[in-house]
Chain A
Amino acid sequence: MKTVITSEDKSFINFKELQGFFGLLKYLSLRDILVRYKQTWMGFAWSIVRPLINIFIFGTLSMLIIKNSSIENFVRVGCGIIFWQLISTVISDSSNSLSANANILTKVYFPKLILPLSTLFPCLVDFLISFILFFICVLFYQGISWHIIFLPLIILHSIIFSLGIGLIFSVASVKYRDVKFILPFIIQILFYASPVFLSSSDVLQLNIPEWLKIVYQLNPLLHIIDAYKFCMLGNNAAHINLVYYAGSIFVTLILCFLAVRYFLKFEKTFADYI
């Protein structure tokens, strides 16, 4: 087996090499899962308690905004919050993955893509714990429609989107620690710009300028979250516009492609700057 080292960059993912490091991906993921709630008194209960607190806060907030105190409204908020938890943790964890693992980065060689990828699994585990609980509640409360079969695809879609953003920020954070400070705000803006605790239809009925409504609908995340709510709770939770959704898939794929290119372009310089 011959290997050549030059100053040239990789042009695209070397899947064969990545496959060889699958074991590393596995152990890094396992590490993050095992370590996540180490030395906490509540342990994995946190992955249920955190969304519960958020559901309480934003359920109340949405009650005040749209003057609807029905149980359905709380279920809708819960549905959005749990999904949002997945999206936001993927974005922030993958953005921080390079600087958090600087000690490994400067000591051994491996395809650096492994680091942001390894954050996905722990986030998914966290998500699944609260999701399953929520799923059971919904099942008994109002039943689940057959649309649920699309859910894995929508979750995959959301992960690719979040990872795309995360990759870009992770590269930027290697050189500019500013990312660490700006990222929470960006996530916060995304949170309010997406129908997490309000339905998009409710937002569009609010008394806001027309152009803002158009900008609001251009957010690819909006359509992902709406699709998710639609599959979980059915028609009265969210409407799905297939054209917009297809557009969202298109934007996601382009974002992810560019993010990976950007990541690979700077991959070899990480150890110099971090």
Chain B
Amino acid sequence: MSEVVIKVENLSKCYKLGHKTNDTEESFVKAISKKIKNGLSPQSNRAIEDFWALKNINFEITKGERVGIIGRNGAGKSTLLKILSRIVKPTTGRIEYYGRMASLLEVGTGFHGDLTGRENIYLNGSLIGMKKAEIDAKFDAIVDFSEIEQFLDTPVKRYSSGMYVRLGFAIAAYLEPEILIVDEVLAVGDSVFQKKCIDRMTDISRLGNTILFVSHNFSTINSLCNTGILLEKGQVKTQGIVTDVFNHYYQTQKITETSFDLENLARYEHKQELIFKEITFNKVPIPYGEQIKFKIKLKNKINAKQFSDLDFGINFCDNNYNCIYHVSNRFINKNFTHCTDDSVYEFNLDNNLKPGFYNLILFLRTADQIQDFLINRVGVEILDGNPYEFNDTNQIQGSVLPNFKITQT
């Protein structure tokens, strides 16, 4: 049994949400006069609701663990990191940790545009908890890692965004705390630099340091972390080996369903006279390279006779919210008119997506009206595999796997 470095007990965090009590449209003058009548008290026309971002969290992390924190948007990941890094205080509960902790919730925290790269290294380094002697000793390594030597005495406001991020990460990379907390900062920079960052973090963890890492990116967590914590609605769902936690995560996302009921989902805007009713995949998960086939049904909500000029837009987005595929009947010059809800629209598309999980954006327009727009309500998994008979798909970067040949002449 190795020693515990972080111990979290009954941790909760409550935020107060203000709601307007009446949703009727208010004019500016009305709002002001109401405010005066209510005696300027800021809460007077609001109902306060408690929102528990975290509720009774308990876990322990042992020395040298590299923990990936996983969860959907709003599961409480960021709140947990903020409490652990002592930026916000918990509502109840207690955390104990041993050793020096540093958190990296943002790359280049406190960078000042008017200061040069050199000056910012010292400023940022001291912000994230390095001593001057430490920065002096690692200065050359930091500059080397960030690849900005040439621009060291240029104000950072003249930097490209890539340079800015590289410098920010380089400083953090040479901070060697016993516990390192990292929020999705690796989502930036080119893939070569990303790999460099992950390698560096793996090196840090080899020294016996503990790392907590939040990301949506499966492959990043998989290559960096050995254990995981799954958060759901502010509670710890599972904790354990990272692959188990991921499996659990995808099961709870109900990604094994072939059919998604879309009719009863909450929607906020757009016309909604004609909406998505159902989407059915013919096979889930989809094996690598096999055609993706799905059928869509629509529902006519206003009993209109017909809708002409249908325009479907279906996007496949990866875990980093990049759109990989975008298909639409518009592109292939197909014209549909929706007369009856019995119509089925069938989509078949060739698939060279990299194995992993994809969220769909469903978009529907008739004539000039946007009718329905659903983001990330439907997801599919592409099973592991690649066209090259290569044994470790994880090593392949990029989002799609093209067929290619390389020859020597």
Partner of B126, one of A4, A24, A103: A24
Q: List 10 A-B contacts (CB under 8 A).
A: A3-B96, A26-B126, A27-B127, A28-B123, A31-B119, A104-B110, A105-B87, A108-B127, A109-B86, A271-B82
A268 to chain B, nearest CB (A): 4
Is B83 touching A5 in the complex (CB atoms < 8 A)? Answer: yes
Question: Any chain B CB within 8 A of the CB of A201?
Answer: no
Question: Any chain B CB within 8 A of the CB of A34?
Answer: yes
A111 to chain B, nearest CB (A): 10
Scan B4-27; emit 1 where CB is below 8 A from any A CB, else 0.
Answer: 000000000001000000000000
**CB nearest to A28 among chain B residues:** B123
Scan B52-64; emit 1 where CB is below 8 A from any A CB, else 0.
Answer: 0000000000000
Q: For chain A, give the interface size range.
A: 20 to 34
Question: Any chain B CB within 8 A of the CB of A7?
Answer: yes
Instruction: Report chain A residues within 8 Å CB of B103.
Output: 108-109
Report B's interface with A, CB cutoff 8 A: 15, 82-101, 103, 105-106, 109-110, 112, 114-115, 119, 122-123, 126-132
Q: Cα distance A24–B91 when bound, in Å?
A: 28
A178 to chain B, nearest CB (A): 10
Please name the 9 residue pairs, one residue from A and one from B, whose CB atoms are nearest each other, closest first: A109-B86, A268-B89, A5-B95, A38-B114, A24-B126, A107-B109, A23-B126, A104-B110, A27-B123
Is B99 touching A1 in the complex (CB atoms < 8 A)? Answer: yes
Instruction: Report chain B residues within 8 Å CB of A106.
Output: 87
Question: Any chain B CB within 8 A of the CB of A69?
Answer: no
Q: Cα distance A34–B114 when bound, in Å?
A: 9
**CB nearest to B99 among chain A residues:** A1
In the complex, chain A residues 1-47 whose Cβ is within 8 Å of any chain B Cβ: 1-7, 23-24, 26-28, 30-31, 34-35, 38-39
Question: Known interface pairs A26-B126, A34-B114, A35-B112. Does A4 touch B100 (Cβ–Cβ under 8 Å)?
Answer: no
A20 to chain B, nearest CB (A): 9
Question: Any chain B CB within 8 A of the CB of A272?
Answer: yes
Partner of B119, one of A4, A23, A34, A101: A34
Q: Cα distance A268–B89 when bound, in Å?
A: 6
Is B132 touching A23 in the complex (CB atoms < 8 A)? Answer: yes
Instruction: Report chain B residues within 8 Å CB of A104.
Output: 109-110, 127
Question: Any chain B CB within 8 A of the CB of A150?
Answer: no
**CB nearest to B103 among chain A residues:** A108
Is A7 touching B90 in the complex (CB atoms < 8 A)? Answer: yes
Is B91 touching A31 in the complex (CB atoms < 8 A)? Answer: no
Instruction: Report chain A residues within 8 Å CB of B85.
Output: 108-109
**CB nearest to A5 among chain B residues:** B95
Is B93 touching A7 in the complex (CB atoms < 8 A)? Answer: yes
